[in-house]
Amino acid sequence: MATKKFGAPIRRNEDARLLTGQALYVDDVELPGMLYAAFLRSNVAHARIRGIDVSAARARDGVVAVYTAEDLGDYWAPGPVLVPPPPIAGTVFNARTQVPLAKDKVRHVGEPLAVVLAQSRCLAEDALGDIEIDLEPLAAVVDLEKAQTDAAGRVHDDVRGNIAARVHQSRGNYAAACAGAAHIIARRFLYDHGASSPIETRGVVANWDPRANQLTIWDTTQAPVFLRNGLAGMLGLSERQVRVIAPFVGGGFGPKIMLFYPEEVVIPWVAMKLNRPVKWIEDRLEHFFATTQERGQTHDAEIALDADGRILGVKDVFLHDTGAYNPYGLTVPINSQCTLLGPYVIPNYDSAFTAIFTNKPIVTPYRGAGRQHGVFVIERLLDIAAHELKIDRAEIRRRNLIPPDAFPYNNEIIYQDFTPLSYDSGNYEPILDKALEMVGYERFLAEEQPRLRAQGRHVGIGVACYVEGTGIGPYEGAKVQVQANGKVSVATGIGTQGQGHFTVFAQIVADQLGVEVTDVDVVTGDTDQFYWGAGTFASRGAVVAGNAVNEAGKAVRQKILKLAAEHFECAEEDLEIADGRVSVVGTGQAIKLGALALKANPMRGAVKQGAEPGLESTQYFGPPSGATASGVHAMIVEVDPQTFTLQVLKYVVVHDCGTVINPLILAGQIHGGVAQGIGNAFYEQLVFDDEGQLLNASLADYLLPTALEVPHMDLAHTVTVSPLNPLGIKGAGEAGAIPVGPLFAQAIEDALGLQERNVELNEIPLSPSRLFELTAKLR
């Protein structure tokens, strides 16, 4: 076989189109006769709807139609619960899901009330101003603790205390562990995660073709197959009549996996009703309300340790803000609950959470998906313990790492994928060692920091560990097919938002079938190209779809060998597949793959029973459970004690995601994750007032990090293969984002010498102004 493609830093197949402005995104779809939609959205967080008068809007020139919930008739229905709660005994779960257009009540700012269809988007927006709405404002439920009292209003009239869910999981016996503890540390932690803010907002274009009886939907979704199946059911169509295309999608990071967004339900219905193509593109202001986000949790956590700093147990009780509806079930808080355990031996664990409905936009997973919240709690507890027990911060982590011979390591609680939280493989100490070496930990503490402090500079170091559950089921599939032109086509059901699927899947197949990576044409996110699949989420594309591609590639390789052996009347062992040809070793005889593919679909002659035409195979892969990646981030930061602005002097990531398919793409995933983690740690916060109004709904006020806030990062990898899939890979999509919050808190504390002065940074996000407030007592 020629040079191995799998594992090489190969540049991407998709880039030429993207770099020349030729890649199709949803807003690029232009169809004759298209109508443009604009949604009238609630400008208050909580109100009863007394009436909506759309008559003036309907009368405006250029307006074709205006619809409210009433007009949807029987089509109007709350969306499904996408992810039901895992089977955890005693779980309370009150499902309340979003509706296509609000009826009776609005429950968050931005909830859609009506849709206008007009000849242009401008005209549609003009007409929004013609609609008269009569709303009876209700007290907004905003604060998580107040929400549970009888004095608070109710987001859903029939849900007392605004309780969306209660879940309790435990391992061992925390109370008994406490009895033997030398130290018990208890704190309250606040962790707020923000908006994913892809540079491309959401959008939907729908076109009903009455001649073909087919509905085509271009959607920025991360889950095209689910969208097709769901919409077909809602619209009374067969699945084959609905084609969902997720073309190039300009970033997702989680919220684009959410479905069915109201606009996704309304736009296809309108297209069929009016028999016209319809486009809706979310604007940036809408994005802050209409697209799901993550937000805050309040943790009251406790850690019990022995005299040497070994963890005896952890207890955690937390509140989770789920927003106005909970279609995504418990994924985010379950991730928080599970990921808190990190890479550590925590023999006794007792964790209970309450998810609260609030009059705020819906919370669904955003890169990290609640893992950050849990990691923040355990990492901060260890920092505080290290300080109180006078143990080095890296050392206390080392003492508690799960040893390499303890895998698979079962944490004895249930994870988001409904399986026991069991780590498949790992070797954590070398990762920590490598990170400490790369950041220069010992030398910094012994020499650099004292020297710089003597110069009056405020520099600090941090080190944070984490694990990431990745690559969960249920399954993905792939079809690999040799084309008559000698190229190879790969189709899968997942969507792609920049992860490099067009290249990594091609690398897998290129090795199997002896072709160049550039000769593998990968299709993702088109339900007419591949019928089944779940979607792109939970760092699972490469793991689950990648292994399906591998299985299909293997099967096609066998077909190639079998057919070529018949063709050449030789043994399969005498054949070699390379350079796009099958040749008989040592004879000079060869046939191009394209020619062989044509032979696999003969026009005449009998075929043997059981023979399949074409050089193609469709295979599915479903892992028994998720593969657990792990890593350590370390950083040196300088803080300006006057302005509390930061300069990151060094940032190190050491990461283990098993076998690496493409190190260049992997580095990109890590870099991007860290950048989002930095935004979360220090720059981004969705600020709601007491009335549930978002006060900073623009990119001028909600601060995404720029090239000046994101530092150069030094990356290294260790490889502990996953035994759960043949390629041995683990996911990497979320790894960069997960431990940045606690790392910032720790390093900033160190830089300002806060621990010595009894100031702890037990919340994220921080910011210059928040640091100023938190250190007020020192001035």
List residues near another protein by CB under 8 A.
11-12, 14-23, 25, 27-28, 30, 60-61, 122-123, 126, 196-201, 248-253, 283-284, 497-500, 664-665, 667-668, 670-676, 698-700, 704, 706-708, 710, 712-713, 736
Name the minimum Å distance from CB 643 to another protein: 18
Interior angle at CA 767, CA 766 and CA 771, nearest 5: 80
Structure tokens at 294: 């993550």
Structure tokens at 178: 């406490």
By beta-carbon proximity to another protein, the closer residue of 14 and 417 is 14
Q: How far is CA 81 from CA 98, 327, 356, in A?
A: 10, 5, 16
Q: What is the dihedral of CA 438, 441, 442, 444, to 10 degrees?
A: 110
Name the minimum Å distance from CB 499 to another protein: 7
DSSP one-letter code for 515 = -
Name the minimum Å distance from CB 224 to another protein: 16
Name the minimum Å distance from CB 334 to another protein: 26
Name the minimum Å distance from CB 495 to another protein: 11
3-state secondary structure of 137: strand
By beta-carbon proximity to another protein, the closer residue of 327 and 498 is 498
By beta-carbon proximity to another protein, the closer residue of 197 and 298 is 197
3-state secondary structure of 185: strand
Name the minimum Å distance from CB 43 to another protein: 19
Q: Residue 34 belongs to what H/E stretch?
A: none
Structure tokens at 474: 């249920």
Q: Residue 72 belongs to what H/E stretch?
A: none
Q: How far apart are CA 499 and CA 504, in angstroms?
A: 9
Name the minimum Å distance from CB 197 to another protein: 6
By beta-carbon proximity to another protein, the closer residue of 591 and 675 is 675
Q: Computed from CA positions of residues 461, 466, 471, 473, in that sequence, does the dihedral angle turn out positive or negative?
A: negative
Structure tokens at 390: 């006078």
By beta-carbon proximity to another protein, the closer residue of 365 and 626 is 365
Q: How far apart are CA 437 and CA 251, in angstroms?
A: 34
Q: How far apart are CA 293 and CA 637, in angstroms?
A: 29
Name the minimum Å distance from CB 290 to another protein: 15
With 0-12 / 13-18 / 19 or more C-beta atoms within 10 angstroms meaning exposed / middle / buried, residue 341 is: buried
By beta-carbon proximity to another protein, the closer residue of 298 and 499 is 499
Place of tokens 């997960």: 738
By beta-carbon proximity to another protein, the closer residue of 551 and 734 is 734
Q: How far apart are CA 64 and CA 61, in angstroms?
A: 8
By beta-carbon proximity to another protein, the closer residue of 120 and 643 is 120
Name the minimum Å distance from CB 475 to another protein: 25
Structure tokens at 277: 């193509």
By beta-carbon proximity to another protein, the closer residue of 330 and 697 is 697
Which residues does 420 contact at the CB level (< 8 Å), separation at least 6? Answer: 410, 411, 412, 413, 414, 625
Name the minimum Å distance from CB 525 to another protein: 13
For helices 546-568 and 501-513, angle between their N-to-C axes, nearest 10 degrees:
30
By beta-carbon proximity to another protein, the closer residue of 12 and 171 is 12
Name the minimum Å distance from CB 651 to another protein: 10
Q: How far apart are CA 536 and CA 524, in angstroms?
A: 10
By beta-carbon proximity to another protein, the closer residue of 89 and 199 is 199
Name the minimum Å distance from CB 118 to another protein: 11
Q: Residue 522 belongs to what H/E stretch?
A: strand 520-524
581-584, strands of its sheet edge to edge: 575-578, 581-584, 590-592
By beta-carbon proximity to another protein, the closer residue of 47 and 675 is 675
618 C-beta neighbours (distance < 10 Å), count: 18
